[in-house]
Each structure stands twice: as C-alpha cells, then as structure tokens.
Structure 1
C-alpha cells in the first residue's frame, strides 16, 4: 500500500517545481520582450 501522505507530498513538490519553471520561463520571455522593445525604440 502506498502512503497517501507521501503521494501528496510528492504531488506538492511536482506542482511547486512546475510553478517555478513556469515563472522562470515567463521571466525569461518578458526579458526578451523588453530587449526587443528597446531595440524597436532605438530604430525609430
């Protein structure tokens, strides 16, 4: 038998790591967007 507490803890860990990965990719894409906007501003 699996211990429900262990399963729940591992699910929470997986959820947190996915959340961190999502936030990290959002931060990276927003930084890229800021660079792109900056270059666009310089070209005008």
Structure 2
C-alpha cells in the first residue's frame, strides 16, 4: 500500500506524496458528489 511505502522515504517526498493523494481523493469525491446530485446513482 502507498501508506507503508510513504514511511520509508524522506520527509520531503512523504509530504509531496501525501498531498498528491489528498488532491486525487478530493477530485474523486467531487466527481462522486456531482454524480450523486445528478441522480446517476439511483437504481430503478
């Protein structure tokens, strides 16, 4: 997992990798909320 390999590298890389993952998860969350609000996740 990415979290385990994050601990083995230097501090500067760890900070960069952490914020890169947070940006990725943020984009994923915004897309999920958009689809949810549009009703694309409703089963009929």
Contiguous gaps of at least 5 residues in structure 1: 37-44
Scaled by the length of structure 2, the TM-score of the pair is: 0.66
**Larger Rg belongs to:** 1
TM-score normalised by the chain length of structure 1: 0.66
Which protein, 1 or 2, shows the higher relative CO under an 8 Å CA cutoff with sep ≥ 6?
A: 2
Q: Which has the higher helix share?
A: 1
Moved over 3 A (4+): none
Q: Aligned Cα RMSD in Å?
A: 2.1
